Structure 1
Amino acid sequence: MSNIIFWIIFGGIAGVIAKWIMPGKNEPQGCIITIILGIVGALVGGFIGNLLWGSTGVTGFGVKSFALAVGGALLVLWIYGKFAGKR
């Protein structure tokens, strides 16, 4: 149960930072969407980090894990903006 709470908090922080770095009108709004964005971003960032550098991914609340999570959230936010802008 504590891992789920950790991912929600970590994802929320990563999502907020990503939305702060890359603001825009096409980005999703709301707390729940921001948390989901951060969690998906952490998964994407961990996957890409594993592919490129052999990283263990997002494994705790550290600088490396946080950078991967925010980077992944930025990528997810950019992709979302590209698809949402075409509607």
Structure 2
Amino acid sequence: MSIIWSIIIGFLAGMIAKWITPGDNKPSGFILTTVLGIVGSLLATWLGQVIGWYGPNDGANFIGAIVGAVIILLAWTQIARRA
């Protein structure tokens, strides 16, 4: 069940990050948005554990997943702009 939850949270975080992030060079599509959201959630979980906000068995909350997805989306935009 946690994999399905991660996909749902990742998709929602990716959609909100896509809506928040300015610019025209945004990735589109269900799969790419979901992947960026999941990667953002994992980034937020890892960063929160390094900083000390989350424990080893805790995951990032929804706001953290959105922030992580925005960071990944901004990085994706910079990489796509250079290509």
TM-score by length of 2: 0.88
- Which residue of 2 is the match for residue 76 of structure 1? 72
Structure 1 regions of 5+ residues with no counterpart? 60-64
Partners of 1:30 and 1:67 in 2: how far apart?
A: 22
Matched, 1:9 2:35: no
- Any residues of structure 2 matched to 1:4-83 within 5 Å, and which? 4-56=3-55, 57-58=58-59, 65-83=61-79
Partners of 1:17 and 1:70 within 8 A in 2? yes
SS in 1 for 2:11: helix
Partners of 1:14 and 1:53 in 2: how far apart?
A: 22
Q: Report deviation, 1:54.
A: 3.6
What's the RMSD between the two structures over aligned residues?
Answer: 1.4
TM-score by length of 1: 0.84
What is the identity percentage for the equivalent residue pairs of Structure 1 and Structure 2?
40
Query: Aligned AA for 1:78?
Result: L
Q: Number of matched residues?
A: 81
Structure 2 regions of 5+ residues with no counterpart? none
